[in-house]
Amino acid sequence: MQSMNKPIVVANWKMNPQSLAEAKRLFDSVGKGLKDIKNTEVVICPPFIYLPLLNNGGRTSIKLGAQDVFWEKKGAFTGEISSKMLKDLGCQYVIIGHSERRRYFNETDEVVNKKLKTALATKLNPILCIGETQQERKKGKTKEILKRQLTNALEKISDFRLHTSDFVIAYEPIWAIGTGKACSPAEAKRAGDFIRSTVSNIYNQKFAENLSILYGGSVNSQNAKPYIFEADFQGLLIGGASLKAKEFIKIVKSVS
């Protein structure tokens, strides 16, 4: 079972860089370096405040994504950003349930589910992040955790007519994020295959077969390739290495 979608490479800038000037420079360098890339979907997810300033009206093929979204449509929710606001700024994607949000902002599976539904309702493509901690992995609980996260995140999702082109799942083992210890392609493949079969059970087989599943966690230009060509992932989610234009360009080229 392998989807034939073109690879998706997502840059998660997290809370970087520290100035708009740097953000613009990074965005422009990546845009220039990848201007001839046609068979890969490249998505950059900067901090919210840089979004309008990087929205160049489609002058490059790079797509914009947000790192989070709030589930309510509008109103008295101090500090939050709605899905409609993101769409208005030219966002096509949104990362939902990143482990840093779960960990530092107490995002539960229930919150993730609400955010997912909001994104789907406004046609913002969700990039749903799931993954186990080192402790859970050591106890042999990886599958159990992934299944729980998927089951809860996708609850009542059948109310939406999902298209695989609008939906992305990222397998991000927490112990591999920002640690320089990437998960081996073989171990990642086991998790990726399990995610696909679980989605098939929860939602439906056709959807699961065509779903893009990404790997994320300490990916760099040296280790990127096997996740796509050996481990059957349809793309990558890149944190640290997406902040260096040259490195990020190399990663995209290596899987294109």
Burial class (CB in 10 A: 0-12, 13-18, 19+), 79: exposed
Q: Does 217 bind ligand PGA (CB under 6 A)?
A: yes
# chain residues binding ligand PGA, by CB under 6 A: 13
Taking CB under 6 A as the rule, does residue 153 contact ligand PGA? no
**Site residues (CB under 6 A) for ligand PGA, limited to 12-31:** 12
Task: Exactly one of 107, 132, 136, 172 is catalytic; name it.
Answer: 172
Q: How far apart are CA 96 and CA 66, in angstroms?
A: 9
Measured distance CA(218)–CA(201) in Å, rounded: 30
Q: Which stretch binds ligand PGA (CB under 6 A): 27-35, 156-164, 186-194, 213-221?
A: 213-221
Chosen residue from 216, 232, 234, 252 binding ligand PGA by CB under 6 A = 216
DSSP string covering 59-86: SSSPEEEES---SSSSSS-TT---HHHH
Q: Is 122 exposed, middle or buried (0-12, 13-18, 19+ CB in 10 A)?
A: middle
Hey, what are 117's tokens? 């539904």
Residue 238 interacts with ligand PGA (CB under 6 A)? yes
Q: Considering the complex, what minimum distance in angstroms separates the CB of residue 177 from ligand PGA? A: 4
Exactly one of 98, 100, 107, 132 is catalytic; name it. Answer: 98
Q: Give whichever of 82 and 170 is closer to ligand PGA, judged by the CB atom.
A: 170
Residues 163-202 that bind ligand PGA (CB under 6 A): 172, 177-178
Contact 128, 168 (CB under 8 A): yes
Catalytic residues: 98, 172
Q: Which residues bind ligand PGA (CB under 6 A)?
A: 12, 172, 177-178, 216-219, 237-241
